[in-house]
Structure 1
Amino acid sequence: MEVEAASGSASESRWSKLGTSLPVTNVQALVASAGELTVDKIQRYIQPDIDAHAVLPELSDDVPVIDISKLLSPESAEAETAKLRFACAEWGFFQVVNHGISDEVIMGIKQGIQKFFGLPLEVKNAYAQQPGDLQGYGQAFVVSDDQKLDWADMLALFTQPPQARDMSYWPSQPHTFRNCIERYSSEVMKFTHSLAIFIAKTLDVDPELVADKYVSQFLRMSYYPPCTSTPEKVLGFSPHSDGSFLTILLEVNSVQGLQIRRHGAWVPVKPHSNALLVNVGDLLEIMTNGKYKSIEHRVTINAHKERLSISAFHIPNYDGIISPILGTIGEKMLYKTVKVEEYARLYFSNKLEGKRALDYAKLPKI
């Protein structure tokens, strides 16, 4: 069944106008014409400080894995809840197995993304970002003509709630793609609802306190072409934390590249088969008064293979606020109450730069 077009409501349509990205050369097209590349073109992608911190692949197996079935079982719920609390507080990133999203839905979105990025450039450009809009096909966080660029192309869509959608950005090719996006988006929304309730339990707070923190969803489908010349000097995504409440990531193919920041070093993530990857966003860090940390992460590039992924960013209502929840009497408040619109505007209007956006929400140290 074809997804019907929906016009965005007044408040939800404002999400896509919070920032914009300057148009830049399509990276996939650059790779396809590698023989014509000049040093100047490549130079803008070279990251001078890419080796500033060590990479520790031996820690990959330490990334927490949370089993939803254990959270639901009376026999194992307490232990698995403690494990989830540890993952949010100490890692800010974890993998989730037995998440409940069917193999059919997962395979549908994976195949759709692969087919879309395999289309000719002129077909994909029919869904190109428009000035002043975050949605569409292109790149993100390009705010100046002299900043370093990421080695990636993307398709970004507001998917939830349905009235937030601008269907002019939803590709009609491949012909099943829209329905695959719709099904995946809905299933991830249900999963996020369940996960948020479990996270509320780890904080010993009423689930109603988080119920309005993930009502909107923004999907980013990313394509990272191989870089045969200098893969060790380019990044698919620069180091950053997410300006979301929770982010759910699905690896589309088996090519690794995601690295997370831990104790001043980078830890590569090896996704478990059939797992979803979850990370704490800035807004959850603010809400927990810093107990749960948004995780800085980046994407490295393979010399010979493309990498694809899809991120689902879950965010509060446009007109909402985020306030720290203090757990104990006398606990010092580390973050101020922030307006969601104000924080999102700050986040989307600047280039990615670690956790710099979160500094806006921090109260001055006394």
Structure 2
Amino acid sequence: MGFVAAAVAILAALLVLLVALVAYTAAVARRAQARVPPLGRFVDVDGARLHYVDRGRGPVVVLLHGLGGNLRNFHALIERLAPDHRVVALDRPGCGYSTTASAAQPDLFEQARIVAAFLRALDLRQPLVVGHSMGGALALALALDFPDHVGSLVLLSPASHEVREPPAPFKGLDVPSPVLRRVLAWTLATPLGQLAHERMLAAVFAPDAVTPGFDVEGGGALGARPGNFIAASADMVALPAALAAMAPRYPSLSLPVQVVFGRDDPICPLALHGLPLAAAVPGAALHLLDGGHMIPLTQADAVAALLRKAAAERREAATVRTPVANVVPA
């Protein structure tokens, strides 16, 4: 009886711990959503409900955020561009406040299909598409699979080529099993993430300092929600195979492409992503800035200037009409 009683006591203690972890995770998620509520509108497209902001008037710029992020990651660029551009930023499917009908996180190509449907729903015709980090990979997938939907690309610190080893700050997301991923999301991921939050941000922003107010203005607090862990883990696990499939297709891109990197980016190193991408895409321009991976925030003025120029070039190209040649009989 002693052994049975001990076993029952251990199981009861584990159950209490499990309930406590789930309750803590739910409470943290509620606090995060109270601090960082939705900013914009929602639209239902192709099996997804997408949260987006649509600001300003003028040349259209569409912003796609990176792994584990949300549209608030672009707040500094939105502020700088919206006075004379129409800036549309969306939470990628499964991220931020965007949801999908399926419980499974859509892969990169499925996300590209959803974003293409989003562009059609808002009647955004061949805009300048800007992608940061994994959002850069999504922008590339969109241009490859839906070339008539994209006018030009600006890729900020994009993930573009297969790398099997995840960046050090994201190794905790390397959970291939969907079941284990969900268990961790509702038990250990949030409390451990809270403990490592400041260290994680410092590693992602390195060598730059974390921008003030990132948790609220930049949406960083939403990373504590279990759904964010599930989506980010699924995205990261599936990304290498998607990039391996895409890389041989980069030479087929015929639209204007600009690649922008921080010289000291530790998350998507220039040598592994920026240089081979710029070499593979015909006519691609490579711009190097001081700093690391989070250049949409740490180098917002320089990035906004590049986007402003790219949008102007896109608008000028869209207005060009090929003249009809005068044919003189021989």
Q: TM-score, normalised by structure 2?
A: 0.31
Task: State which structure, 1 or 2, has the greater radius of gyration over its C-alpha atoms.
Answer: 2
Which structure is higher in strand share? 1
Q: TM-score, normalised by structure 1?
A: 0.28
Which structure is higher in helix share? 2
